[in-house]
Amino acid sequence: MRPRLHPRARRAGFSLIELVLATGLLAILMVAVISLIEGALTIWERSETRRNLTEQATAVVELMAQDVQALESGVRGDLLVEWVTFDTDGDELRETAWPRLRFVRQASRAELIRLFPKAPQAAQPAAGDDDEAAAPPAPPRDEIIGPGLIEVCWVVVPIDRKNPDRRAEGLVYRGARRLLGGSSESYFDAGFVRSNGMPNVAELDEVTGGLLWLQPLMATQTSIVHDGWDAGIEPAQAATAWDAWGEDRPDTTVHAWNQVSLIQPESEERGALPRRFRIELEFEREADLKRRARTSSLILVEDVAFSVSDGTRLPKPGGHIKIDGEWMQVTLISGDRVTVRRGQRGTQIVAHAPNSLVHWGLALVREVPVSLYREDWDL
């Protein structure tokens, strides 16, 4: 005979409704936990990206700052800052502009030892050789490498003209060579720049890629920069180009920013230098390209608003974006619709094809006083 179960025993366990409710609550909890983890990972990823970009930009700007801080103003000194343009999209129009800096700076003995190899020592005479015919002893190291002047060149060229997603980026090169007399080669020689406008990068060292923006600004003795660096040729403005000897070397037909300041001093005895530099640069990592928005349709020259694939992948209003060779400033984002100011940062307004990548990165600014004018540093 089967034993009878107590009524409470028959009701033990979960009903179907209770199982469904428990499963639903568990699913909600899992979604909340996953969302929390994703949010934390996103914040960490953004922080890591910013840290990496900051380190990259800081390394470049510190090296450039070290160079310009020690500018030489004597009879052998020189400073040439000019803008050059490139055709990066193959339409025979030079729409992308990059600055090029060539100058002479002072170098300590330690820097010369680090930058240039030690001169070869004379061979020692073998036993039994005639002492009179033996080679003279090598000069002391201080005579081979001592304090002096070096030429420095900073050049930016397009990183990849064939890849539409990379042609907006620049590749940074830097070169340094001893400033010697006679017929020694110089970065200021006409032959340093080839007929196609490209410098001989084989003579330079690659610094880094992923550069979106680089602008050097130079303060003259009349520039007023307390309330911001306003670029232009007027006495109170900061210069976008420089020619230490007033020889009209920056070509104003290439770019409007090649016009030097109206009050840039001229001297027959020594090259004129700015009082202070402002270096602004902006980088974008290759990994960031996968997280950038793209244009949804053709952008015409007259358009000031357009749609992108994802409006959340744009910088906040006030930030800058770069499409091909044109810089724009974001003024409003509404969903996937963005309103901009066209032709910013000295670039030309041009049409852009659909599915163009929208570049932007992390900007870093450094102001550097020139050592010669350190007493004028508070302009």
Give me the pLDDT at residue 161, please. 83
pTM for the full model? 0.77
| Residue 121 forms part of a structural domain | no
- Verify that 377 and 350 share a domain, yes or no: no
**Exposure of 70 in the CB half-sphere (CA atoms within 13 A):** 17
CB 174 within 8 A of CB 63: yes
Specify the pLDDT at position 9: 52
Quickly count: other Cβ atoms within 10 Å of residue 17's Cβ. Answer: 8
Q: Which two tokens stand for residue 28?
A: 């909600």
Structural domain total, the chain: 2
Residues 305, 271, single domain; the answer is no
Backbone angles phi, psi at 178, to 5 degrees: -65, 140
Same domain, 107 and 176: yes
Is residue 7 a part of any domain in this protein?
no
The model's pLDDT over 62-117, given as tens digits with 9 standing for 90+, comes to 999 999 999 998 888 999 999 999 988 888 888 899 999 999 999 888 878 877 76
Are the beta carbons of 171 and 156 closer than 8 angstroms? yes
Whether the CB-CB separation of 272 and 373 falls below 8 Å is answered with no
Gap between the Cα atoms of 189 and 156, Å rounded: 18
DSSP 4: P
* Whether residue 212 is found in the same domain as residue 314: no
For residue 10, tell me if it sits in a domain: no
> Consecutive sets of 10 residues in the chain, 379 residues long: mean pLDDT of each?
55 70 82 74 57 73 91 90 90 89 90 68 44 44 58 93 90 90 78 82 90 94 88 92 92 93 67 91 88 95 96 95 95 97 94 95 89 52
Same domain, 221 and 339: no
6 within domain boundaries: no
pLDDT on residue 8: 54
Question: The domain containing residue 63 runs over which residues?
Answer: 23-116+144-291+362-379
Query: If we measure between CA atoms, which residue out of 75, 64, 68 comes closest to residue 272?
Result: 75
Written as six digits, the tokens of 349 are: 């307004």
Give the pLDDT score at 264: 59
Task: Give the SS3 label for residue 238.
Answer: strand
Residues 173 and 318 in one domain: no
* pLDDT score of 40: 64
Q: Is residue 129 part of a domain?
A: no
